[in-house]
Structure 1
Amino acid sequence: MLAVAVPVFAMGMASLPAYVVTLASFSGVESATGLAHVLLNTVGLALLLLVVVSHRRRLRGRCPRCGAGHTGDGSGPLVHPPASVASRRTRIQVYLLMCGLLPWAVVKTIWTLGGDALSVTAEKWREENAGGSGVAKALASVGIDVTVLAALAGIFLLLGLMYPWGQVFPRWTLLLTGRRVPRLLPLLPAWLSAIGLSVYGVVLVIYAPLSAVNVLPRIKPDGGFTSSAGITWMVLFGGLAFGGLGFGLIAAARSYAARTRPVCAIVAATDATPGNRSAR
């Protein structure tokens, strides 16, 4: 049952990143019921995943709370590990995936700065975005596209997942300096965004080249695009950007979850004994 329910709820919340960008730019929501549907699917997916994790741990004879193999009911206090950096392999993987954002962001920035690219003129770009929110227009006036800004927020999240300042609040957070960052604060937006972004990115990356060679229907020029080739390239760039960010978040979130997973105090006490320290 869970094997069927989890994918269904995951597909139902796939458009969550789009709603987040829309709300952040104060552009308004086209469908309140659609947003409510996505949020309900998001909550349902989060609860189901918690059930899946707990169930798998019980089947493996591990503590359903911390995942370690120890005796007792695991009702004692939890001990959190010290802040650490993601492995070199994870960092390289994430940085390479982040590079997928570059073509898409460069084209968007060219349009915003008044240049022409991929058969879209600056004038046509301004016409297409004339109905945007005040925030989006204000950002565009200084050469910043609101969707590129949202991507930068995603990069900020990626870096926080890989480095110690994502586990302990740094000095520039003022009153929070030195406090432990709640695990779910970066993990929830990372996992919830990653699912929709990665699926959407894969679809676009597959569809664009197949459309270009006529295996699938050609993408017709729309909006400010005046050629099929131009919009096809932009679809591919979008797929690389969304997919790169989505899979980067998955890799970084997995590393963060493993590095910050707390264990029951009984496990921490056992690991701290002289015999266990020397065994490591």
Structure 2
Amino acid sequence: MAAALWGLLYAAVEVTWAAVGITVPWKEHASYAPAVQLLLAALAVLAGGACLASTRTLAMPGRAAVATALIVTIPVFVVGTNGLPMYFVTLVTLSGIDSATGLAQVLLNTVGAALVLLVGLSYRRRLRGDCSRCGRPHAGASDGPLVHPAASPAPKRTRKAVYLLMCGLLPWAGLKTIWTLGGDALGVSADDWQRTTSFGASGPSKAAASVGIDVTVLAAMAGGFLLLGLLYAWGQVFPRWTLIMSGRRVPRLLPLIPAWLTGIPLTMYGAVLIVMAPLMAVGVLPEIKPSGPFTTSSGITWFVEFGGLAFGGLGFGLVVAARSYAARTRPVCASAMATNRPE
């Protein structure tokens, strides 16, 4: 029902924006065309209707139609979450929001993607004959108590993969640190960089820069902390330094929600930058003309590549770690434990 209501709300907002002519940016210097907004409204209604139909007993054609609608619409709204981490950073650092409608669009897409994904997962489980609650096949009720697994770290292979992905942050973070500490790199002087980035910056951003710390590096460090929690047992049971929370089980969605909401958009954004920079370097895509503080196109190209490695590495690392965390912490219905217990 929640997904169906979201679909109606989303469609009403998009149709209103298109009819009134309100500008809704989807990237810098580019906005949604009214026709695209109307198409998104139609897809939201389709997704909401499919979610509502998924709760009913359907014949084979109906099940196929619902599955097709979910498969088609989910990627659209997942892609629409791109930009959520950037808005988050600007809000936390009090840097101001460039576009209220742009933020509203991203939030609507994020809520919709989450709801439709959850419905799709539940629907897939029912089609397979699994419990829609815990995802395991078992007899008996699915509304009884849940059994949570013991805390455990991620497999060694998963940890190595995440650490390797996190190495993508090093060139970008090093570059930002050089500039904030007064050094020059990529043809950009520290003075020019600080002069450009300090324009319109908030108090917290300026305070961090004054001690040589770029605020986006701080955001990346917060992402790294989240990653460690997803990889190790202290992310499942509050450690001693959390004082009154020590020893209690961490709510499963507490780390998973921010991991998915930031990891997926960062992965998509980083992948675009990683591919775009080499194509600009070889002339397949036009070079970006240098503008302050950059003095050369090659400097901008390298900066784009470093940003792609950083955002893509952090985002994909969060996705990999979250997937492992979700598998390791997934509770099971008590009736499933009883069903699978050996005689």
Distance 1:268 1:26 in 2: 49
Q: TM-score, normalised by structure 1?
A: 0.95
The percentage of counterpart residues that share the same residue type is: 68
- Per the alignment, residue 257 of structure 1 pairs with 326
Matches within 5 A, 1:234-249: 234-249=303-318
Say whether residues 1:100 and 2:168 are aligned partners. Answer: yes
3-state secondary structure, aligned to 1:252: helix
Distance 1:28 1:180 in 2: 36
Say whether residues 1:81 and 2:149 are aligned partners. Answer: yes
- Residues 237 and 249 in structure 2, CA contact (< 8 A), matched pair in contact too: yes
Q: Identify the structure with bigger relative contact order (alpha carbons < 8 Å, sequence gap 6+).
A: 1
Letter of the structure 2 residue corresponding to residue 20 of structure 1? F
Match of 1:116 among 167, 184, 207: 184
Residue range with higher mean Cα deviation, 100-109 or 73-82: 73-82
Distance 1:270 1:111 in 2: 61
Residue range with higher mean Cα deviation, 234-243 or 23-32: 23-32
Distance 2:250 2:300 in 1: 42
Query: What CA RMSD, in Å, does the superposition of the two structures yield over aligned residues?
Result: 1.1
- Per the alignment, residue 169 of structure 1 pairs with 238
- Per the alignment, residue 252 of structure 2 pairs with 183
- C-alpha displacement at 1:268, in angstroms? 2.7
Q: TM-score, normalised by structure 2?
A: 0.78
- C-alpha displacement at 1:73, in angstroms? 3.1
> Can you list the C-alpha shifts for 1:223-264, whole angstroms capped at 9, x where unaligned?
300011111001000000011011111110000000000000
- Per the alignment, residue 205 of structure 1 pairs with 274
Letter of the structure 1 residue corresponding to residue 220 of structure 2? A
- C-alpha displacement at 1:270, in angstroms? 4.5
- Residues 138 and 339 in structure 2, CA contact (< 8 A), matched pair in contact too: no
Letter of the structure 2 residue corresponding to residue 21 of structure 1? V
- Per the alignment, residue 25 of structure 2 pairs with none
> Can you list the C-alpha shifts for 1:127-176, whole angstroms capped at 9, x where unaligned?
10222110000000111100000000111111100001110111111111
Distance 1:70 1:141 in 2: 59
Distance 1:269 1:110 in 2: 59
Residues paired across the two proteins, number: 274
Distance 2:316 2:90 in 1: 22
Match of 2:206 among 137, 156, 165: 137
> Can you list the C-alpha shifts for 1:43-84, whole angstroms capped at 9, x where unaligned?
111101110110110111100000011012311111111100
Provide structure 1 residue ranges, at least 5 long, that are not aligned to the other structure. none
Provide structure 2 residue ranges, at least 5 long, that are not aligned to the other structure. 1-68
Letter of the structure 1 residue corresponding to residue 154 of structure 2? A
